[in-house]
Chains A and B, each alone.
Chain A
Amino acid sequence: MKPPPFDYAAPTTLDEAIGLLAEHAGAEARVLAGGQSLIPMMNFRLAKPGYLVDLRRVAGLAGIRREGDTLVIGAMTRMAEVERSPEVAVAAPLVTEAIGLVAHVPVRNSGTVGGSLAHADPAAELPAVVLALDAKLVAAGPGGTRTIPAGEFFTGPYGTALAPEEILTEVRLPVWPGGHAFTEFSRIHANFAVVAVAALVDADGDRIRRASVALAGVGPTPVRAHSAERALLGTSGDAETIRRAAQLAAADLSPAGDLHASAETRLTLAQVYLRRGLELAVSRARNER
């Protein structure tokens, strides 16, 4: 099908874009980033915004830069650009690994990092990544800019802490010094994950001193697996500890079943992929030294 009619603007400044969102709030104005989720939804008539504010001409929203221990990715940076970036591969290899699993190249050529985060699909890869990394999301609105911790950004399926007239401008990712892993189960390569796991482990000698784990596909938003993180601390990350950590984390989850997988299947997958992700992250953390 074709998208329903809407009015359109492609402003060149952030202030203009925010102004247009506020001005056309009554028409349910929405931001257009790469459009790789929004336009299919409009083709299906699942979304019917009366006004689209296209961000592609707004200066300063795309780009990748390092600020000390933080990697900053502009919201309008195309996924493919992030995937190819040597700077991202060094500072945030978890992002590189996860993006390789986001749809196919033609979608990553258009789709943006900010678009994926603001769309907040509960099975998407990047929301789990920013949650595991404790990233900060920067939003600009009529009252200025504010920083939202990833843990407070996702509020429900396709729901975020962004106000209707706010625009996500960049994501600030702390550089993780240890090992990482992004693993997922999907029925067909490049489909949305049924269950995905983002795992980060940092070791001091043989002892794990920090762990951060997030899952997608097991709830209305991506979730942190705090009990798995705690179970790993101070251990060597041996197979038995990882198995128990995965079990503990799965016990905290209550996924809903849908046409892609039953709740039971998701729980089993969560345990299996938690185990695989943690094993890979631990072994990479060891090789890091």
Chain B
Amino acid sequence: MTAISVTVNGRPHTAQVEPRRLLVDFLREDLGLVGTHIGCEHGVCGTCTVLLDGRSIRSCITLAVQADGAEISTVEGLADGAELHPLQDEFSEKQGLQCGYCTPGMLMRASEILAGNPDPSPAEVREAIASNLCRCTGYQFIVEAVLGAAERMRAEKETAS
């Protein structure tokens, strides 16, 4: 067992983990944060995407021990209490999901995209979410949801400043 300290959605955690513990299993099994889904388990589908120090990673091909000392953000950290994050709201509004299996990964990847580029073009969103597979929607409504969220987040920022 190896000792690790991580901050997940702002809350510090220390734990003893087996070195072979995948980060996604640490989040789901040890911390009970089951919002992050497990799909392919070899880094292809993207549903396990979380942010590690602000950058998207595949938590199914990352060991928990590799995250020692890092700040992790998962889908559970997006909403502000009962108030949904604009991305979550737009995915709901625009029907950017059907079965919802890919949604946590899509949301986390989209939050990274918008942090780096608040005003992406539809083509840029398509290119950026190519890392995450969705078998239901055909991506159309996901792209619209991300663009809708970008617009709202820009408007909110403008109001705030």
- Residues of chain A touching chain B, judged by Cβ–Cβ distance below 8 Å, are 1-8, 10, 32, 35-36, 39-40, 42-44, 52, 54, 56, 80, 104-107, 109-110, 189-190
In the complex the two chains form, is B41's CB within 8 Å of A43's CB?
yes
From known contacts A56-B66, A104-B130, A106-B109, infer whether A2 and B46 are also in contact, taking CB-CB under 8 Å: no
CB of B73, distance to nearest CB on chain A (Å): 13
In the complex the two chains form, is A43's CB within 8 Å of B60's CB?
yes
In the complex the two chains form, is A10's CB within 8 Å of B61's CB?
no
Q: What 10 pairs across the A-B complex have the smallest Cβ distances?
A: A104-B131, A8-B19, A40-B42, A109-B55, A39-B61, A106-B56, A3-B20, A40-B43, A110-B57, A40-B61
Check: B89 CB closer than 8 A to any chain A CB. no
Extra contacts besides A39-B62, A104-B131, A109-B55 (7): CB < 8 Å: A8-B2, A8-B19, A35-B66, A36-B58, A43-B60, A106-B109, A110-B62
Residue of B nearest to A56 (CB): B66
Interface size on B, as a range, is: 20 to 34
* A-contacting residues, B10-32, CB 8 Å: 18-20, 22, 25
Check: B68 CB closer than 8 A to any chain A CB. yes
Residue of B nearest to A106 (CB): B56
Chain B residues in 8 Å Cβ range of A40: 42-43, 61
Chain A residues in 8 Å Cβ range of B25: 2
In the complex the two chains form, is B57's CB within 8 Å of A106's CB?
yes
Chain B residues in 8 Å Cβ range of A3: 20, 22, 63
Give 16 CB contacts A-B under 8 Å: A2-B25, A4-B20, A8-B19, A32-B66, A35-B62, A36-B58, A36-B61, A39-B22, A40-B43, A43-B41, A54-B65, A104-B130, A106-B49, A106-B58, A106-B131, A110-B58
Residue of A nearest to B49 (CB): A106
Residue of A nearest to B21 (CB): A2
Residue of A nearest to B19 (CB): A8
Chain B residues in 8 Å Cβ range of A42: 20
In the complex the two chains form, is A44's CB within 8 Å of B42's CB?
yes
Chain B residues in 8 Å Cβ range of A10: 65, 68
CB of A39, distance to nearest CB on chain B (Å): 4
